Amino acid sequence: MNDMTDSPRAVARLGAEVGAALIGHEVLVERLLIALLAGGHVLIEGPPGIAKTRAVKQLAAHLPGSHARIQCTPDLLPSDLTGTQVFRPETGSFDFLAGPIFHSLVLVDEINRAPPKVQSALLEAMAERQVTTGGISRPLPDPFMVVATQNPIEHEGTFPLPEAQLDRFLLHLRLDLPDAAAERAILDLVEAEGLSAPAPAGTVVTPEELARARAEVARVHLAPALKDFIVRLVMATRPGGAVVEWVEHPVSPRGSLALAAGVRARAWLHGRDHGLPEDAEALAADALSHRMVPAWQALSEGRTGRSLVADALREVRPW
């Protein structure tokens, strides 16, 4: 893609607008754009105060369509997410009041504090792009994207996400605390924001540009050798694979599909009409680590899904 059409320019502006309000989160911004272009969902994990929610709100502020935020608590009900039937005495009938899930971009804060029934309702929305209430299935907006956050520090009063729901996230990001230079830049940024009037937020990408960008991403070429590389990375977690001895449950086929979709989106963001092994290597941990369950031997040695993906990348080469 040597000639830059309107959609790449619009997505580039979107990334610049989101990144301007963040410090040291270039990878986070890129991953959010990848998920947006690939039509997937994102789980962001990290300690409090590192701008997880801020990043998603910045993205939502510059996207077309509506957005909503759901703050998860242990007493949350599925109807708080999906909506409920309300009786109208004047008509003698029931009307459906849509819940916050009926928005194009939904931020689910501290998703692991939501009880299992709420997580189940969210799983249907993420997987089927619909919500079933009162025996009626209602479609969700298109595009529809869920960005969830969770705090890895506190576990009291939490409900760990089941593997089936983790598998529905295209990418799982792990964020760390900033270094000293980034921390100082954050202080300057917040101070400057406090002294000046907030810039008006506005849509920088139209629905047509977003739809065109997604169509272009879908046409990004993956060479047979690159597809083989993606499959071999996933097979490394299966019987006979390089890291299978450390894996209790291997990556499902959805892992191959997610990594391939991410590779196409990343290649497009970098101005290419074809994927490269470096795209797969950059996204492998975010696309595959949450789709496997490490064996107890691995956990006892401090290994994680991400470290096992790193081991697989050392063993499985592109060519």
Looking at residue 5, what is its pLDDT? 57
Q: Cβ distance 105 to 65 under 8 Å? A: yes
CATH number of the domain that residue 230 is part of: 1.10.8.80
Looking at residue 197, what is its pLDDT? 64
What one-character DSSP code corresponds to residue 267? H
152-167 burial code (b ≥16 CB/10 A, e <16): eeeeeebbebeeebbb
On the question of pLDDT at 313 being above 90, the answer is yes
Shared-domain flag, residues 147 and 273: no
Shared-domain flag, residues 55 and 187: yes
Range of the domain at 267: 219-315
Looking at residue 22, what is its pLDDT? 92
- State mean pLDDT over 168-172: 96
Distance CA 156, CA 159 (A): 9
- Measuring CA to CA, which residue among 269, 281, 279 is closest to residue 16? 269
Shared-domain flag, residues 253 and 110: no
Q: What is the pTM of this model?
A: 0.92
Shared-domain flag, residues 37 and 163: yes
Shared-domain flag, residues 189 and 244: no
Give per-residue pLDDT as tens, 222-261: 999 999 999 999 999 999 999 999 999 999 999 999 999 9
Is residue 205 included in any domain, yes or no? no
Whole-number Cα distances in Å, 299 to 92, 169, 302, 303:
58, 23, 5, 5
Looking at residue 1, what is its pLDDT? 46
Is residue 212 included in any domain, yes or no? no
Q: What percent of the chain has pLDDT over 90?
A: 73
Q: How many domains does the chain have?
A: 2
Shared-domain flag, residues 10 and 150: yes
Shared-domain flag, residues 189 and 300: no
CATH number of the domain that residue 38 is part of: 3.40.50.300
- State mean pLDDT over 193-220: 85
What are the residues whose beta carbons fall under 8 Å from the beta carbon of 2, sequence distance 6 or more? 271
Query: Which tokens sit at 144?
Result: 């529809």
> Would you place residue 2 in the very low, low, confident or very high pLDDT band (cuts 50, 70, 90)?
very low
Shared-domain flag, residues 90 and 184: yes
Cα Rg of the chain, angstroms: 21
Report strand pairing: 145-150 vs 105-109: parallel
Is residue 99 included in any domain, yes or no? yes
Shared-domain flag, residues 176 and 30: yes
Is residue 253 included in any domain, yes or no? yes
Shared-domain flag, residues 143 and 223: no
On the question of pLDDT at 301 being above 50, the answer is yes
> Would you place residue 194 in the very low, low, confident or very high pLDDT band (cuts 50, 70, 90)?
confident
On the question of pLDDT at 4 being above 50, the answer is no
Query: Which tokens sit at 27?
Result: 């990878």
Looking at residue 92, what is its pLDDT? 80
Is residue 19 included in any domain, yes or no? yes
Shared-domain flag, residues 258 and 180: no
Query: Which tokens sit at 141?
Result: 């907006």
Shared-domain flag, residues 108 and 245: no
Is residue 245 included in any domain, yes or no? yes
Is residue 206 included in any domain, yes or no? no
- State mean pLDDT over 54-78: 92
